[in-house]
A and B are shown apart, each in its own frame.
Chain A
Amino acid sequence: MEHRSHLYGLVGEFVTPEQLIHAVEKVREAGYRRLDAYAPFPVEGLSEAMGFKRNLVPLITLLGGLAGGLGGFGFQYWVNVIAYPLNIGGRPLNSWPAFIPVTFELTILGASLSAVLGMLALNRLPQPHHPVFNAPRFSHASTDRFFICIEARDPKFHLADTARLLQGLHAHHVTEVSDD
């Protein structure tokens, strides 16, 4: 099979989080939109610099919690009133206060599972391989280095100009990354 590797983008390395944020701001000012930043810890201010607003994780969590709570209560109601009614001393079948602990626990369970699975799904994880891992020094992204990757798909992308822009922002080791 013919194997050709395409250019995925350009990667530049930074030493401090401040340099990273500065670079992200400048790159976005220059009109680039298809870019991502990589950091070994959540850098304060990076999301704002990248222009992220809200994300869907809180909504998914709310829906998961509602599903857990309503489903949990509904299920107990169904079991005790419809499927398996037990008349004990003439007490009401829908003895709702006694159903609250399980309803509460299932609300938390539904919300927590949705928060984690939702976060992973939106992040497209698990994803064993990603082109950015081809960058030669990228293993430092999980220790003490900060990276920017500008994708070749960006309409403004031009190999020489973009590389010059990154170098102008004091990026070390500006390298091309292929997508295989």
Chain B
Amino acid sequence: MSSAQPPIDSPDISRLTPVLGPGHTYASVTDKISAIVLTRPTSMGWYIGFLLAFGLFSLMSIAIGWLITKGVGIWGINIPIGWGFAIVNFVWWIGIGHAGTLISAILFLLNQKWRTSINRFAEAMTLFAVACAGIFPLIHTGRPWYAFWMFPYPSVMGIWPQFRSPLIWDVFAVSTYGTVSLLFWFVGLIPDLATLRDRAHNKISQVIYGMLAMGWRGSARHWHRYQSAYLLLAGLATPLVLSVHTVVSFDFAIAIVPGWHTTIFPPYFVAGAIYSGFAMVISIAIPLRKAYGLEDFITMRHLDNMAKVMLATGLIVAYGYFFEMFMSLYSGNKFDVFLVHQRLSGPYSHYYFALILCNILIPQLMWFHKMRTNVVVLFLMSIVVNVGMWLERFVIVVISLTRDFMPSAWGRYFPTFWDWATFIGTIGMFITLIFLFVRVLPAISIAEMRELVAETAEEHK
């Protein structure tokens, strides 16, 4: 450790908290992270949390079972509101996933060191969020056992999917996104699985981690190709993540429904996705670092940076809201102008105002360093943003569909118990998966933390 002061504008040395607590070695980061999985006894809190989450997950299973028995009539959807909660929740969940890919791919390409201790669980979050998202369009088809009809395969019926439809684009975008996220996550996990294999004390874990590690031995030849593949995956995942929410926004923008048919949708959806995703990463990171004493690895610097990304994307979203409304009024199209009135004073206007409150007004607190570094405030803010982003999708889907062109075709939408049960159930499923993940796989990339230790040691020379 040298006493020389680094230049104040040096990008690596920040005047803020470092990205890694002091005094860590290769062995100490390895011990600390792998101990959560291998040696630490499972705490009572884990069991309680898991049981609560699993209870909600079971509620989802019941709700879906009942849906398959009775049909989509148990939901509040009806013409003209055929989309309802299923699509609101689908867009919400898929958006949440985007932060994981952003952190793992884009921040990797930008060489941001603070990505290292949060990328693993953010990627896991992406996978679980995509899994939750995938359920909704599937069960919304009404006959999910025919869902494979959406994939092009040579069927005896002699028909093929309609490739000009955004709904088929969605199938390809979401399934590619899920696959690439899984690959990225798994490739990152291989060296850590080898570490767990070498450190596990019982035969069963040795065999399971050993099989998953595929015989990884840390050879220089392997690392050489591994780094090429990882960099390429990051480069591929970056345009992919931007395309996925763009395609999701096409589900709306390609249609002629007022409030949907706008060119601002793709960038505004992508910004919103990253906004809600970072909020979810913060919602997970804060309890995780507390429960497992990981404050040295997920430092205030990480939380502060994530809050800044959230603030920036939140401002893009606010810009989107403003221009969405401005363009509707400026277009002079009477249906678009009418939609603005419906949002501000129609039957669902309280949702719109709640959305503005949650997504634009409250997050402005993040301009203040004090607020960004207050863990409780930040946690609450992340929940508020998640609620706000859910409301945004509700406003887009429901207000436009309840009041389109012909007054004779207007309607109202009332979600039923089963709508809520399915939605809350997927939150249970998400939390259940997070709980299991934290217990069986390293929640922080051990190999990358060792790299960070090496780089930090270099800087202090």
Chain A residues packing against B (C-beta within 8 Å): 17, 24, 36-44, 46-47, 50, 52, 55-58, 61, 65, 75-76, 79-80, 83-84, 86, 95, 98-99, 101-102, 104-106, 108-109, 111-113, 115-116, 118-120, 122-123, 125-130, 132-133, 138-144
Could you list 30 examples of A-B contacts with CB < 8 Å? A17-B454, A38-B218, A40-B30, A43-B220, A47-B223, A50-B220, A61-B232, A84-B160, A99-B163, A101-B173, A102-B172, A105-B169, A105-B172, A105-B176, A105-B240, A106-B172, A112-B233, A112-B236, A115-B229, A116-B233, A118-B229, A119-B225, A128-B210, A138-B217, A141-B198, A142-B195, A142-B198, A142-B216, A143-B195, A144-B26
Contact of A142 among B194, B228, B250 (CB under 8 A): B194
Chain A neighbourhood of B173, CB < 8 A: 101, 105
Check if B218 sits within 8 Å of A40, measured CB to CB.
yes
Chain B neighbourhood of A58, CB < 8 A: 228, 232
**A114 → chain B closest CB, angstroms:** 9
B160-197 near A? 1/0 per residue, CB < 8 Å: 11111010110011001001100110110001001101
Contact of A119 among B211, B226, B237 (CB under 8 A): B226
Chain A neighbourhood of B296, CB < 8 A: none
B412 located at the interface, meaning its Cβ lies under 8 Å from any Cβ of chain A in the complex? no
Check if B215 sits within 8 Å of A129, measured CB to CB.
yes
Chain B neighbourhood of A130, CB < 8 A: 215, 217
**B360 → chain A closest CB, angstroms:** 30
Knowing A36-B219, A41-B448, A141-B218, say if A55 contacts B225 (CB, 8 Å): yes
Knowing A125-B215, A129-B215, A142-B191, say if A95 contacts B164 (CB, 8 Å): yes
Contact of B221 among A79, A123, A133, A144 (CB under 8 A): A123
Contact of B225 among A99, A106, A112, A122 (CB under 8 A): A122
Chain B neighbourhood of A86, CB < 8 A: 162
Check if B221 sits within 8 Å of A52, measured CB to CB.
yes
Beta-carbon nearest neighbor of A65 in chain B: B236
**B: contact size bracket:** 35 or more
**B108 → chain A closest CB, angstroms:** 13
Beta-carbon nearest neighbor of A149 in chain B: B219
**A175 → chain B closest CB, angstroms:** 16
B459 located at the interface, meaning its Cβ lies under 8 Å from any Cβ of chain A in the complex? no
Chain B neighbourhood of A102, CB < 8 A: 163, 168-169, 172
Contact of B160 among A24, A56, A83, A105 (CB under 8 A): A83
**B245 → chain A closest CB, angstroms:** 12
Contact of A105 among B195, B243, B447 (CB under 8 A): B243
Docked pose: A115 CA to B218 CA in angstroms: 19
**A106 → chain B closest CB, angstroms:** 7
Beta-carbon nearest neighbor of A62 in chain B: B232
Docked pose: A127 CA to B217 CA in angstroms: 10
Chain B neighbourhood of A125, CB < 8 A: 214-216, 222
**B232 → chain A closest CB, angstroms:** 5
B451 located at the interface, meaning its Cβ lies under 8 Å from any Cβ of chain A in the complex? yes
B152 located at the interface, meaning its Cβ lies under 8 Å from any Cβ of chain A in the complex? yes
B60-104 near A? 1/0 per residue, CB < 8 Å: 000000000000000000000000000000000000000000000
Chain B neighbourhood of A119, CB < 8 A: 187, 225-226, 228-229
Check if A101 sits within 8 Å of B250, measured CB to CB.
yes
Docked pose: A130 CA to B199 CA in angstroms: 18
Docked pose: A138 CA to B233 CA in angstroms: 30
B6 located at the interface, meaning its Cβ lies under 8 Å from any Cβ of chain A in the complex? no
Knowing A79-B163, A130-B217, A142-B218, say if A46 contacts B223 (CB, 8 Å): yes
Docked pose: A142 CA to B180 CA in angstroms: 26
Beta-carbon nearest neighbor of B220 in chain A: A37
B159 located at the interface, meaning its Cβ lies under 8 Å from any Cβ of chain A in the complex? yes
Check if B232 sits within 8 Å of A42, measured CB to CB.
no
B233-258 near A? 1/0 per residue, CB < 8 Å: 10011011001000100100000000
Knowing A42-B451, A118-B229, A119-B228, say if A47 contacts B220 (CB, 8 Å): yes
B15 located at the interface, meaning its Cβ lies under 8 Å from any Cβ of chain A in the complex? no
Docked pose: A37 CA to B161 CA in angstroms: 51
**B379 → chain A closest CB, angstroms:** 32
Contact of A42 among B163, B199, B210, B227 (CB under 8 A): B227
B158 located at the interface, meaning its Cβ lies under 8 Å from any Cβ of chain A in the complex? yes
**A65 → chain B closest CB, angstroms:** 8
B301 located at the interface, meaning its Cβ lies under 8 Å from any Cβ of chain A in the complex? no
